[in-house]
Chains A and B, each alone.
Chain A
Amino acid sequence: MYSQGLIGADGKTDEDEAFLAAFQERIDAEQKIEPNDPMPEGYRKTLIRQISQHAHSEIIGMQPEGNWISRAPTLRRKAALMAKVQDEGGHGLYLYSAAETLGISREEMYQQLLTGAAKYSSIFNYPALTWADIGAIGWLVDGAAIMNQIALCRCSYGPYARAMIRICKEESFHQRQGYEILITLCNGSDEQKELAQDALNRFWWPSLMMFGPSEGQSVHSQQSMLWKIKRFSNDDLRDKFINATVPQAEFLGLKVPDPELKWNEEKQGYDHGDIDWDEFWRVVKGDGPCNRERMRTRRRVESEGAWVREAALAHAQKRAERQAVAPVAAE
């Protein structure tokens, strides 16, 4: 933990106008904010919320894909999927570390996940039903994540921006692998093509929802933009994603499941149909197809692993005690 000596970690920063103005000045000058810099409590809290929920998403995101490791159709695909799930765990670690620089412990964040106080990306509440879903998740879900994350590489908080740079490199690789799965399916048998279309049908809208609610509905958006935690609006990123992804679907010979999707010459982008925001809020609030299962699995893993963590701790203590008693003998 890095909490010691951090200004404002106790929530008692004296946030007078001069302080806030000086902070905004640094932000406007594109200076990165680092862990020991003074920062408004609201900035710290927003970042903790966002980074930790990002970390939680990586951890929960291991479940839908991990679900297919034992059944991947070839050894090459199995190895790639394992590597991907492993990378996700690693991304979780980076992100928890980045959040810890803001004065919260990983354990505390993790408890917030387990109690439901902290959220994770709504997309992982959708099930991975077929092998094609693994391709669709790589292509669409990681694709959407990258749109968000490329923007975050320029986030004003240094540790978060640097974590995103590292994560984006691996994430782009996964996205290409996912797309390649779909290329293979779409060049394959009729059954394989059907699997691919079905996966797109089920993951298209949930992927668009990953960018979050539209401007009017987004509670944190305005302040985050001002502080340059966010660099683009949810809708801007969503549009960018649609514009990049529709030609990829066409290349696959797949149909995007949106009858209102249409190229708009004037804005040089696609118009799309309405997102089902009722579904979005329902899933965010816990009533999606897999919310309960994802959380139940996490809680079960946590409780079943408790004895292992306790043993590791007890052993470390014993070892430290032995070394304290007989420093020479330990050499």
Chain B
Amino acid sequence: MAKGNILFTYLLRLADDHLILSQRLGEWAGHAPTLEEDLALTNIALDLIGQARSLYSYAGAVEGQGRDEDQLAFTRPERDYVNALIVEQPNGDFAHTIVRQFFIAAFMVPFWREMEKSGDDQLAAIAAKASKEVAYHLRHASEWVVRLGDGTDESHARMVEALEDLVMYTGELFEKDPVTDAAIEAGFAVDVSALEDEWRQTVEQVLGEAMLALPEVGYMQTGGRDGIHSEHLGHILSELQYMQRTYPGLTW
């Protein structure tokens, strides 16, 4: 694979992660348990879509075929989307949303920190901005993990269920394949396998404070990076892409 191709694919994966998670959090707008939380979730969604836009724009430039952020976001079908499976998981109840957010933020904090050292200046610059945002996301999610885990019997039970439902999607975050290997070799990527210990430490420390534990699973579901998704993604894209597919090629 040529370097351009690898960088493009690498950027697309990151961009898709951020857009799809943003789309999920956007579903909460007006539906959160408190007004304050409504603002917080929308705030995070906004940060994520901002990161997605930077990444798509850069990916489009790297690809060099004139595709902009919108063409990349709105005209690729589900088999071409390469986000991690965890971000496309349904919001479920508030516990599921918080656990999903917590798992991802605990990963993205060290990820963006390492990416700040990227040999690619633009990626390093995107990382510098994202680092600040994701530190806030992790704080927000961690505080809720503790509140819900160490809240009522019901909230604790819901957290246990959410952890069990979502833990199988965390393995993909640390997965390496020929694209990541080539990207690491080219000097612009983060070696995600090296982040797993730190992630586990963060997660276990917060879960401990929340009287919860990380469920041990023997199987991690992956496939998102190859465009093999859960059944959820098609529905997300149906909504996301509806306007551009109905009225293609227009300015909005």
Q: Do A and B come from one complex?
A: yes
- In this complex, how many residues of chain B approach chain A with their Cβ under 8 Å: the count is 48
| CB closest residue in chain B, given A92 | B35
| Residue of B26, B34, B36, B155 touching A78 (CB-CB under 8 A) | B26
B230-246 at interface with A (beta carbon < 8 Å): 239-240, 242-244
Tell me whether A308 and B69 are in contact (CB under 8 A): no
Tell me whether B252 and A63 are in contact (CB under 8 A): no
Q: Which residues of A contact B208 (CB under 8 A)?
A: none
Tell me whether B33 and A86 are in contact (CB under 8 A): no
| A301 at the binding interface (Cβ < 8 Å) | yes
Q: Which residues of B contact A314 (CB under 8 A)?
A: 151-152, 155
By Cβ-Cβ distance, the 6 closest A-B pairs, closest first, are: A305-B33, A311-B151, A311-B155, A73-B243, A308-B33, A62-B30
| Residue of B31, B33, B49 touching A79 (CB-CB under 8 A) | B49
| CB closest residue in chain A, given B31 | A301
B205-242 at interface with A (beta carbon < 8 Å): 239-240, 242
| B52 at the binding interface (Cβ < 8 Å) | yes
Per-position contact with A for B141-157: 1 when CB-CB < 8 Å, else 0?
Answer: 00000111011101100
Known: A75-B56, A189-B247. A62 touches B34 (CB 8 A): no
Per-position contact with B for A164-192: 1 when CB-CB < 8 Å, else 0?
Answer: 00000000000000000100110111011
How far is B233's CA from A45's CA once the two chains are assembled, in angstroms? 50
Interface of B is mostly: helix
A-B contact pairs, 23 of them (CB 8 A): A66-B30, A71-B239, A71-B243, A74-B70, A75-B49, A75-B53, A75-B56, A75-B73, A82-B26, A82-B45, A82-B49, A86-B39, A86-B46, A90-B39, A185-B252, A189-B250, A191-B247, A297-B31, A301-B32, A304-B93, A309-B33, A311-B147, A315-B146
How far is B158's CA from A304's CA once the two chains are assembled, in angstroms? 13
How far is B94's CA from A191's CA once the two chains are assembled, in angstroms? 40
Tell me whether A311 and B27 are in contact (CB under 8 A): no
Tell me whether A305 and B155 are in contact (CB under 8 A): no
| A69 at the binding interface (Cβ < 8 Å) | yes
A33-69 at interface with B (beta carbon < 8 Å): 59, 62-63, 66, 69
How far is B144's CA from A179's CA once the two chains are assembled, in angstroms? 38
Tell me whether A301 and B35 are in contact (CB under 8 A): no
Q: Which A residues contact B (CB, under 8 angstroms)?
A: 59, 62-63, 66, 69-79, 82-83, 85-86, 89-90, 92-93, 96, 131, 181, 184-185, 187-189, 191-192, 297, 301, 304-316, 318
CB of B143, distance to nearest CB on chain A (Å): 10
Q: Which residues of A contact B80 (CB under 8 A)?
A: none
Tell me whether B147 and A85 are in contact (CB under 8 A): no
Among A131, A308, A309, find the residue whose CB has the most chain B CB atoms closer than 10 A.
Answer: A308
CB of B16, distance to nearest CB on chain A (Å): 12
How far is B27's CA from A309's CA once the two chains are assembled, in angstroms? 20
Interface of A is mostly: helix
Q: Which residues of A contact B31 (CB under 8 A)?
A: 66, 297, 301
Q: Which residues of B contact A93 (CB under 8 A)?
A: 35-36, 39
Q: Which residues of A contact B49 (CB under 8 A)?
A: 75, 78-79, 82
CB of A28, distance to nearest CB on chain B (Å): 37
Tell me whether B34 and A71 are in contact (CB under 8 A): no
| CB closest residue in chain A, given B23 | A70
Tell me whether B46 and A315 are in contact (CB under 8 A): no
Q: Which residues of A contact B242 (CB under 8 A)?
A: 71
Among B43, B73, B74, B152, find the residue whose CB has the most chain A CB atoms closer than 10 A.
Answer: B152
CB of B207, distance to nearest CB on chain A (Å): 15
| CB closest residue in chain B, given A130 | B243
Q: Which residues of A contact B30 (CB under 8 A)?
A: 59, 62-63, 66, 85, 89, 297, 301
| B171 at the binding interface (Cβ < 8 Å) | no
Tell me whether A73 and B244 are in contact (CB under 8 A): yes
| B90 at the binding interface (Cβ < 8 Å) | no
Q: Which residues of A contact B36 (CB under 8 A)?
A: 93
| Further 9 A-B residue pairs, CB within 8 A, beyond A59-B35, A308-B34 | A82-B46, A82-B49, A85-B29, A96-B35, A301-B31, A307-B155, A308-B148, A311-B148, A315-B147
